């Protein structure tokens, strides 16, 4: 059985990206994100979310625009970059300490909360992950990637309805966000038992993935095989078969 974890990590393509969303003018530094079963590219380790947008000022667009409420202090940006580097290097405890310090010194920054949520989820601390990601989406409601991450945290917590809402929120911001599309498919397929909708999202994901995805293509075939077959309508009277029609052998 496919794993939701496998789906979301590859499609997120967040290995070099963390959200520093709060009160600055630093634009996204996220290298081409389509879901890796977040936007479909080669699988990459999910590590962080990187951008700078101000509190409640993120544009509801595919690419968030820079904030206009003032620059982030250089010292704050350096501290944030250092925390991201620590996350990428696997030093979660040190990164967490630096990110928590940033939430105290710069409470309007969404990025530290988003990445604290990622760390918490990877460590299995799901209530904390949800709380941090909810805070991030409150501070920067226009960031599709943050909503997708929140959806993953809700799903891991068994809050499937909330997970669906979060993924849908990400798609309301960016309708072509393939990662969220795929995660909706996995949610419907593995957790909600809704093959019809899973098929819809898997197919949509493949349409958003120019290079294709052979794994998801197999999932599509699997879901189709599991769909109930429509019975042929009964004929009121058997029609006469043509003289050259195939016949059964006895």
Residues 2-33 pLDDT 10s: 544 333 322 222 333 344 544 322 222 222 22
Of 72-76, 79-83, 199-203, the one with minimum mean pLDDT is: 72-76
Coil, strand or helix at 118: helix
Extract the runs of DSSP E, i.e. beta strands, from the chain: 18-19, 50-51
Q: 70: pLDDT confidence band, cut at 50, 70 and 90?
A: low
- 4-226 to CATH, choices 3.30.300.130, 1.25.40.10, 1.25.60.10, 1.10.1040.10: 1.25.40.10
pLDDT, tens digit, 9 for 90 and up, residues 167-182? 999 999 999 999 999 9
Residue 29 burial by CB count (10 A; 0-12/13-18/19+): exposed, middle or buried?
A: middle
pLDDT > 90: percent of the chain: 60
Q: Return the C-alpha torsion angle 2, 43, 16, 92, nearest 10.
A: 50
Give the pLDDT of residue 177.
96
Of 55 and 155, the one with more pLDDT = 155
* pLDDT tens-digit series, residues 77-135: 999 999 999 999 999 999 999 999 999 999 999 999 999 999 999 999 999 999 999 99
pLDDT value, residue 42: 26
Q: How far apart are CA 165 and CA 148, in angstroms?
A: 10
The confidence score (pLDDT) of residue 72 equals: 83
Nearest-angstrom CA–CA distance, 189 and 136: 28
Average pLDDT over residues 141-150: 94
138 contacts: CB under 8 Å, gap ≥ 6: 110
Checking if the pLDDT of 195 tops 60, the result is: yes
pLDDT of res. 147: 95
Indicate the domain borders of the chain.
4-226
**Contact status, residue 11 vs residue 40, Cβ threshold 8 Å:** yes
Q: Using CA atoms, how far apart are residues 142 and 72, in angstroms rounded to an integer?
A: 19
Give the helix, strand, coil percentages of the chain, each rounded to 5.
Answer: 55, 0, 45
| Range among 75-79, 151-155, 211-215 with highest mean pLDDT value | 151-155
Kindly report the average pLDDT of the chain as a whole number: 74
């Amino acid at each position: 059985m496919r794993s939701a974890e496998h789906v979301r990590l590859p499609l997120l393509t967040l290995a070099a990206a963390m959200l520093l969303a709060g009160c600055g003018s630093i634009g996204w530094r996220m290298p081409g994100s389509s879901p890796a079963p977040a936007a479909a590219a080669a699988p990459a380790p999910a590590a962080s979310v990187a951008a700078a947008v101000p509190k409640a000022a993120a544009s509801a667009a595919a690419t968030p625009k820079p904030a206009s409420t003032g620059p982030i202090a250089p010292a704050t940006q350096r501290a944030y970059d250092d925390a991201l580097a620590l996350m990428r290097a696997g030093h979660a405890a040190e990164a967490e300490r630096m990110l928590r310090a940033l939430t105290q010194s710069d409470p309007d920054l969404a990025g530290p909360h988003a990445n604290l949520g990622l760390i918490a989820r990877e460590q299995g601390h799901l209530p904390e992950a949800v709380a941090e990601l909810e805070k991030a989406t409150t501070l920067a409601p226009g960031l599709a990637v943050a909503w997708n991450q929140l959806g993953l945290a809700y799903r891991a917590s068994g809050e499937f309805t909330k997970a669906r809402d979060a993924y849908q929120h990400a798609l309301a911001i960016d309708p072509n966000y393939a990662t969220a599309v795929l995660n909706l498919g996995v949610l419907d397929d593995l957790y909600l038992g809704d093959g019809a909708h899973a098929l819809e999202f898997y197919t949509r994901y493949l349409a958003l993935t120019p290079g294709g995805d052979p794994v998801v293509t197999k999932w599509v075939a699997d879901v189709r095989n599991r769909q109930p077959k429509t019975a042929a309508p009964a004929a009121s009277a058997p029609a006469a078969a043509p003289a050259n029609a195939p016949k059964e052998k006895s």
